[in-house]
Amino acid sequence: GFKPLAKGWQDVLDDKKDVVVRLEEEEGEPEERLTEKEAKALRKQVRDLKRRKKEAEGEERKGLKKQIAALEARLEAYNAWKEKEEAWEAGFQNVTKDGGVRFKTSKAGTGFRPEQWATVELHLTGKVRGGAEFHTSRSSYPLKFIVGEGRVIRGLEEGVKALRVGER
């Protein structure tokens, strides 16, 4: 499970900061997230230790075996996390150049794209990276607002302008 942790909501509301949602560690997520560069260095370290292990004897060999197992466990956790991230990323479309607003379409729309000052009404489901849902309007009323009026977060307005009527 996860618990959303939020800080600085007044700054967010005053439009001084972006919304940041931090999650406690999810099950299956490595304790420390390695970068690709760090994972590459660990792979090299494992190869070097395996070479040393071939020549080692007794206690030294046992110690190297333990080191190799620990490093391989970290790499295995990293690889599992990376596969999960890549699966989550598949199919998303960027709305903004920096990738800050993205969406995944499950049903194509055939209508027009809302423009500035258009009134829109929609249901939305917000998910954090990895797929955990943090908000949905499906169990209540749809959200209704005027695009460009500034009554919802900018990311939602940007995302709505990229969708077509009827799109899910």
Q: Which two tokens stand for residue 130?
A: 């990895």
For the segment 5-40, what is each residue's pLDDT rounded down to a tens digit? 344 444 445 555 444 444 344 444 545 678 899 999
135 beta partners: 126
29: helix, coil or strand?
coil
pTM of the model: 0.48
Q: Which two tokens stand for residue 134?
A: 């943090």
Rounded CA separation 67/61 (Å):
10
Q: Residue 56 carries which side chain, given as an amino acid letter?
A: A
For the segment 55-113, what is each residue's pLDDT rounded down to a tens digit? 999 999 999 999 999 999 999 999 988 888 787 677 777 787 777 777 778 888 888 88
Is residue 34 a contact partner of residue 78, using CB atoms and an 8 Å limit? yes
Q: What residue has token string 């299956």?
A: 28
